[in-house]
Amino acid sequence: MRLAIYPGTFDPITNGHLDIIERGAQLFDRLTVAVTNNPSKSPVFTAHERMEMIRSVTANLPNVEVDSFSGLLVDYAGSRGACALLRGLRAISDFEYEFQMALVNRKLSHGIATVFLMAHERYTYLNSTIVKEVAKLGGEIDSFVSPLVKERLQQKFQKP
């Protein structure tokens, strides 16, 4: 059974993440979407809220599960018996950070490979930070996130 871990902050999950999850789920027997619990990232949504949104939008994918982790990613992946870490690559600007992370993770744990999927060109410009900014300012986010995530963003940013 080949298990891959797709780690990230997912604050919140976008359609770009979902595209990577759908394609990753076809490549591996099981895929765990692992939400980082690291509070230093100051996420807008709690880990519980982020996991709940991911669970809802991946409910149609039987070999995908959602979990959270703290500490080193390679320790978590090792404890789960994963063979790969999955990451999406959008533009060339992602490369340096992703390359650095992949090399550090390889240094820390030789047994685990980082597998990159190119983001669909529809989503190369998309990230959670931009989606939050547009949502906060009342812009249209229908093509960026699922209806459930849109609703959660609107609830989060609604004015009292």
Residue 1 C-beta: closest distance to ligand PNS, Å: 23
Query: Which single residue brings its beta carbon nearest to ligand PNS?
Result: 8
Would you tell me how many other CB atoms lie within 10 Å of the CB of residue 127?
A: 16
DSSP 3-state of 110? coil
Residues 58/5/100/117 CA torsion (nearest 10 deg): -50
Q: Which amino acid belongs to residue 77?
A: A
Could you give phi then psi for residue 85, rounded to 5 degrees?
Answer: -105, 135
The reply on whether position 9 binds ligand PNS by CB under 6 A is yes
Which x/- pattern, by CB under 6 A, does the window 77-116 give for ligand PNS? ------------------------x--xx-----------
Active site residue 48: no
For ligand PNS, the binding residues (CB under 6 A) are 7-9, 36, 72-73, 101, 104-105
